[in-house]
Chain A
Amino acid sequence: MTRVHDMGGRWGDGAIPVNPDEPVFKEAWHARALAVTLAAGGLGQWTLDASRHARELLGTMDYTRFSYYEKWLAALADLLVARGIVTRAELAAGQGDGISPLAPRRLTADAVPAVLARGGPTDRASAATPRFAAGDRVITRRPARNIHVAGGHTRLPAYAAGVPGTILSCHGAHVFPDTNAHGLGEAPEPLYTIVFRATDLWGSAENPRDEVTADLWQSYLDPAP
């Protein structure tokens, strides 16, 4: 069903750690961790969905004790070894053993502005007519889960599973993370913004008029009964 990253609605996390004077990168290594991760992603050996899932695959205890960029680093190390790009022995030694066959794909400094500016849009052309339209009542899959891979990546949060909601807007077809994270193809599907009443999500709400939205793919949804 769910993993530790899927924490929406959880109790017990305490006060928000607000720090108005926080710099962009609190530690020099935070900046380095971000940059190494982006540059390694530029080798094109995994998708954004796969890198998200690699962070989700961190053990519950690691995920909880690691700071933000430590999660990034751990997931990066795991991906590099899993894809055969770096060996576990190289990581343990802290030394690379020979030039990689992927070296020609290295992101160079002069290419950085263009690569960051280009991004990675996920909308895809699709001839399929969306099943739902704005205003339609739908209900989300329950339990929230990847139906292709047990324990796999999904973007339906557990708190929003099995809950009735209303289609606010349709954004056309987008790459489907549940398949794309696992090398099963982009399989684009219509993506919708669904609005839920807070009272339907939580039983009681701070204010009965409050709402929560989520962006969900068509196969997560059924018409409301």
Chain B
Amino acid sequence: MPHDHHHHDDDHHDHDHSVLPSDPALRVKALETVLTQKGLIDPAALDAIIDTYQNRIGPQNGARVVARAWSDPAFRARLLADATEVVAEMGLYGRQGEHIVAVENTPDTHNIVVCTLCSCYPWPLLGIPPGWYKSDAYRARAVREPRAVLAEFGVTLAEGQAVRVWDSTAELRYLVIPMRPEGSEGMDEDALMALVTRDSMIGTGLARAPT
């Protein structure tokens, strides 16, 4: 337990982190220095982690899954039945994406994903979550007033469409399969990928219409 002190858990003035510098950039630097000097972290490993999430893993991964689901009915059926296995075959298994569930938007139901308790998000498919996804406002409001939240993203749902909000409270990570936009008939997978936005795979956006 992190707080086996004589005082109560919530006596936050005495938390160990309070001895660190108040400027967050200096706080990171202090932690990194202490841990490096103690032989506990390798600065080159930090660079490798940052490179992974800055340059290698991002929404293009999820977009590839969606574009294929739009193009290939057998793939789509397998994805909806067992997304973890299907994305693993595509090399998209990894940390914070060990158990993937794909949910499909239809004219009847629009899906939207949130993590009210922290910031759970399908990292191998979408990368690091955007700031708004981790904000108090999104975490607090998405479950109670998803339509008001969607309106702030410029999304208005079709009449008759119900909303299903997925609160990621366990290690399941959700990928929304947006509806394939009209006018995209005949487009190949690469062209379709360009229509799939990050927000459309969280449910706070729709796929782009082809231009």
Contact = CB atoms under 8 A, between A and B. Distances in A.
Binding between chains A and B: yes
A145 interface: no
Q: Is the interface of A mostly helix, strand, loop or mixed?
A: mixed
Contacts of A17: 131-132, 135, 137
Interface string A101-145: 011001111011101111111110000000000000000000000
B191 interface: no
Interface residues of A, number: 118
23 contacts: A5-B118, A7-B116, A10-B140, A17-B132, A24-B127, A29-B24, A31-B53, A36-B32, A39-B45, A40-B35, A52-B118, A68-B134, A85-B40, A91-B30, A94-B34, A156-B169, A195-B164, A210-B165, A211-B164, A211-B165, A212-B166, A215-B168, A215-B169
B12 A58 contact: yes
B52 A29 contact: no
Interface of B: 1-4, 9-13, 15-17, 19-21, 24-25, 27-42, 44-50, 52-54, 58, 93-99, 101, 114, 116-119, 127-128, 130-132, 134-141, 143-149, 152-153, 162-172
Nearest to B95: A119
Interface in A2-54: 5-19, 22, 24-29, 31-36, 38-40, 43, 50, 52-54
A206 B163 CA distance: 10
A183 B10 CA distance: 20
Contact of A183 (B1, B17, B58, B152): B1
A82 B2 contact: yes
A204 B45 CA distance: 50
Given A7-B136, A157-B117, A213-B164, 10 more contacts: A5-B117, A16-B138, A33-B24, A39-B42, A76-B31, A80-B16, A91-B16, A95-B37, A108-B44, A206-B145
